Amino acid sequence: MKKHFYYLILVAIATSCSTNPYKKSEKVYDVQMNSLKETLSQKEATPLTNESAIIIDSIAYRYKNQLLNYKDTLSKTDTSILPNGIVSEWVGTVNFNLRKPNFIIIHHTAQDSLQKTLRTFTSQKTKVSAHYVISRDGKVVHMLNDYLRAWHAGNSSWGKDTDINSVSLGIELDNNGSEPFSDIQINSLLALLTKLKKDYSIPAQNIIGHSDIAPTRKVDPSVFFPWKLLSLNGFGLWPDEVLPCAPSDFNVEQGLQIIGYNTKNYSAAISAFKLHFIQTEVNDLLDEKTINTIYSIYKK
């Protein structure tokens, strides 16, 4: 037993003294990782193209502690023992970057003020957050680095994506859900969307609402949200002014699924579609206009 023990020690010493063929690439890995950690730590205000929009760095002190924890996690390169007894070896690749968001989900806060929403998003008890909050007067509060995962989408899906939080940015608009959105607030949203779409190459069709991804639970950003205006500016889709006639064999449910809607609750999916694209008739009635509108978006 002693001989076996000493043999293991000698092997460990020999291994530690041997030349590491990956020493050069490990240095590159460390440099790139440190650069990414700096990116994650960035909290500087970013000017938007719309001069009326103001970014306010209003991060709670807990953000720093949580972020440091994730930065440490990023750097961990420990070996680990697999269930079959094999010890994994660490060799850092030099080809990597941060995962970027591919969707933007728009919400309304369903609260009465920006301050109330900020309190909600800086309390550990609530377990909810968003990357941005836009107040009624157009101010923009950036609450979480864009590369990090906020808790805004909840149990939701779009197409085959079932973890929307992991692939999206969440934008909350200060609005109680029963009032129109102010022009200055929408102007700031358009400015922010311009920046985010450019920064992350987000497709126009991937800018959607909370009600789209959670049709059985959510109705935000409400019937008052100007989806047509957003589409005219390149954010989101909108049906043709003159609706095409859907062919007689058009499968409406399949069309909704291809657009992205979860149709397990078919009625809820129809209502969510109409909340977004036919805002004057929000119900689950599948009339000719609704079918043709679904077909119009399906073709896009």
Give the three-class secondary structure for 57: coil
Question: 243 is written with which tokens?
Answer: 């609706």
Catalytic residue among 26, 44, 89, 172: 172
Whole-angstrom Cα distance, residue 74 to residue 94?
14
**Edge-to-edge strand ranges of the sheet holding 207-209:** 54-56, 139-142, 132-134, 168-173, 103-108, 207-209
pTM beyond 0.75, yes or no: yes
What pLDDT digit, counting tens, does each position of 109-158 carry?
A: 999 999 999 999 988 899 999 999 999 999 999 988 899 999 999 999 99
What pLDDT digit, counting tens, does each position of 41-84 carry?
A: 777 777 776 544 444 333 334 556 666 666 666 666 666 777 78
Q: Are 132 and 170 in contact (CB under 8 A)?
A: yes
To the query of whether residue 172 is one of the catalytic residues in this protein, the response is yes
Burial class (CB in 10 A: 0-12, 13-18, 19+), 96: exposed
